[in-house]
A and B are shown apart, each in its own frame.
With several copies, the nearest count.
Chain A
């Protein structure tokens, strides 16, 4: 990994893509898609502007040339139809991957996802192996409708799996795992990471298993449980805090449902203190669920309150000073960590 991105910093843009064997987050997703399409004929893509144009963020760039317009389908602007068609195709044994142009538009397919896709196996015995993916998250001044982090809605919906990669390695490994999974998987990409991080990826086939968290940094004093772009914020803060003598462990959830409770519990049983960090808004976010799991299953090991560092309960504002104020960052995390360490 080539270093943590700084939320609010400049976007190196497309020029940063794949230099000297390093693969960016966006390229990693595309490679994952390509490999799975090559491996399995039943994998196909559908979404708005994903074919000829290659997607608003170029995630699917070039795939229509490689696989043809039968397998890379440009659709009308109709998220319910996109997901609905994916559900139907998945019932027939296909492995559709549906793109939401921005993940915010997933709200327009909410019924289809939560009622048709999520409940199909349970009530009829027919599983729907589909993936819904798209760019989530803020930091690029996209305003209220191009910056959302809706993952908690779906983690609260039985029948769905929810993942969010923080690294290029995971982006590729998780998209491949999601496609191979027999159940509907929501794959949340963080648009801020697309071209800001890169790393060397293995040349051989690999997946990152769904349901497994990763300890990104070991530490003794407290655990930061996080995921997505905030993983980098946690690492950045951990560096700052190290200099102050506070030793932070960083757990990257990677999968938000089903949670890897074992890894979280082990970490917090060791450090005895935890901060739950996410970019999504506070109330009812993933942090609340982690807090519930910890206070249910790790109670005796807690030496301090569970602290949430999240966006406040507001829509995502557009103007840079507002968005900066809104988003969690290293400084806010450090403040919370210092107080908790001193507790």
Chain B
């Protein structure tokens, strides 16, 4: 499970890509071009990318809205993400749903619904189906510290544990659920402690250290693949921005934010790569520049892409046509012959 230099650099590239795409989205948001809210993953890039990177082709992920890095690992293009945030016809959801709510099992990605926790039983079902279909398939999903309080989290993880399903749950402890701090969310000392309730292994890891995150996720993935059942991996990280762009996070202490800024996963990883001689600062800068150009082009293309045609609103409720047609003008009834 040792990573090659190429892989280590790919991790860097993905993390940078994650950050750059989001910075572009912030610009678009400020220009009023993002439709709806914008949810940042600043400071949490290593958590998403390190964990998803532990998967193999054929595995299936269920990311939440703060897991932009995950869909990038799964091969989504920046344009997929940007068109989606801009509600375009060409976006993965065709404008039907917002932000990172997009997915297809055939692309290895399941779209969440907003209701937190709901993905856990669904991912368990994916894993169950995979086993029935004799696929070598591991599933991975993410949940926030807040999301662990939901009944769905509990029911899903318990079911997966009983069935010994190949499911890895990354619990992202970023200190906050919207404005609610960890200690108002749970009296548990840490999220890893919640594993005992299901008789599965639980582990805490530094979620801002991409290599440590990768290693922990990899252990869990390997365990899942070899029939060892689910694992709960707690990633200790921090939400560097508000819940969404509109939230100035006034409830966060400045010093705490500053302390975590020092642990920025991308800068930290750049230092690691330079120190370990995997790359020079110049090489990393070149990667950054290439990504910047790529993403600029993707933004341009996204901006040119069309909005959906209105009638699409009525399509695809059911497999064979829908019933909910637009109102007809009255009278709709036939005239009675008198």
Interface residues of A (CB under 8 A from B): 44, 48-49, 52-53, 56, 70-71, 73-94, 96, 101-102, 104-105, 107-108, 111-112, 115-116, 119-127, 140-146, 158-159, 161, 181-183, 257-258, 269, 275, 281-283, 296-301, 304-305, 307-315, 317-326, 328, 332, 335-336, 338-340, 343
Q: Tell me whether A141 and B114 are in contact (CB under 8 A).
A: no
In whole angstroms, how far apart are the Cα atoms of A115 and B310 in the complex? 23
Contact between A141 and B251, CB atoms less than 8 A apart: no
Query: CB distance B158 to A304 under 8 Å?
Result: no
Residues of chain B lying within 8 A (CB to CB) of residue A300: 333-336
- 8 Å CB contact of B318 from A83, A91, A105, A183: A183
B259 within 8 Å of A by Cβ? no
**Of the candidates A161, A298, A326, which one forms a contact with B333 in the assembled complex, judged by CB atoms under 8 Å apart?**
A298
- Answer yes or no: B233 CB below 8 A from chain A CBs: no
Which of these binds chain A: B14-22, B147-155, B292-300?
Answer: B147-155
Cα A253 to Cα B101 with chains together (Å): 35
Q: What are 21 A-B pairs with beta-carbon distances under 8 A?
A: A76-B155, A76-B186, A78-B150, A84-B118, A108-B152, A115-B113, A116-B115, A122-B317, A124-B103, A182-B320, A258-B323, A269-B336, A282-B324, A307-B331, A311-B324, A314-B314, A318-B96, A318-B98, A319-B35, A332-B327, A343-B331
A146 to chain B, nearest CB (A): 7
Hey, which chain A residues are within 8 Å of B184, CB to CB?
74-76
- A338 adjacent to B98 (CB under 8 Å): no
How many A-B contacts if CB must be within 8 Å? 325
Among B102, B128, B318, B332, contact of A307 (Cβ-Cβ < 8 Å): B332
Q: Give chain B residues whose Cβ lies under 8 Å from the Cβ of A81.
A: 121, 124, 149, 152, 155-156, 158-159
Complex alpha-carbon distance, A126 and B101, angstroms: 12
Bound complex: CA A44 to CA B310 (Å): 39
In Å, the complex CA distance between A308 and B162 comes to 47
Chain B: which residue is nearest A274 at the CB level?
B330
* A301 vs B95: C-alpha distance when bound (angstroms): 42
Known pairs A53-B178, A92-B105, A126-B104; A322 contacts B312 (CB<8 A): yes
CB distance from B181 to the nearest CB of A (A): 9
CB distance from B134 to the nearest CB of A (A): 11
Q: Contact check, B96 vs A123: say whether CB atoms are below 8 A apart.
A: yes
| Of listed B104, B147, B318, residue having the most chain A CB within 10 A | B318
B308 interface hit (Cβ, 8 Å): yes
B interface majority secondary structure: loop
Any A CB within 8 A of the CB of B235: no
Smallest CB-CB A-B distances: 10 pairs: A88-B125, A84-B121, A313-B324, A319-B95, A312-B324, A145-B114, A53-B179, A85-B125, A92-B129, A300-B336
List chain B residues, Cβ under 8 A from A324.
310
Chain B residues contacting A142 (CB-CB under 8 Å) are 36, 98
* B329 CB–A CB distance under 8 Å: yes
Contact A92 B133 (CB under 8 A): yes
- Docked CA distance A298–B180 (Å): 52
Tell whether, in the assembled complex, residue A320 and residue B35 are in contact, meaning their CB atoms are under 8 Å apart: yes
Assess the B333–A78 pair: CB atoms within 8 A: no
Q: Which of B123-152 touch A at CB < 8 Å?
A: 123-130, 132-133, 146-147, 149-152
- B242 shortest CB reach to chain A, Å: 10
Judge if B88 is at the interface, Cβ distance under 8 Å.
Answer: yes
Indicate the member of B87, B314, B330, B334 with the most A CB atoms within 10 Å: B330
| Cβ–Cβ < 8 Å partners of A281 in chain B | 324
Say whether B150 contacts A56, CB under 8 Å. no
Across the interface, which residues of B come within 8 angstroms of A181, CB to CB?
319
Contact with B111, one of A83, A123, A321 (Cβ below 8 angstroms): A123
The CA-CA distance from A3 to B304 in the complex, in Å, is 37
Whether the Cβ atoms of B159 and A85 lie closer than 8 Å is yes
A144 touches B115 (CB 8 A): no
Asked whether, in the complex, the Cβ of A304 is within 8 Å of the Cβ of B330, the reply is yes
B310 lies within 8 A of A325 (CB): yes
Known: A119-B113, A145-B113. A310 touches B327 (CB 8 A): yes
Contact B126 A92 (CB under 8 A): yes
Pair A80/B152 contact, Cβ less than 8 Å: yes
A336-B336 Cα distance, complex, nearest whole Å: 20
Q: Which A residues lie within 8 Å of B133 (CB)?
A: 92-94
| A305 & B162 in contact (Cβ 8 Å cutoff) | no
Contact B125 A144 (CB under 8 A): no
Q: A88-B126, A313-B323, A314-B314 in contact; A322/B113 too (CB < 8 A)?
A: no
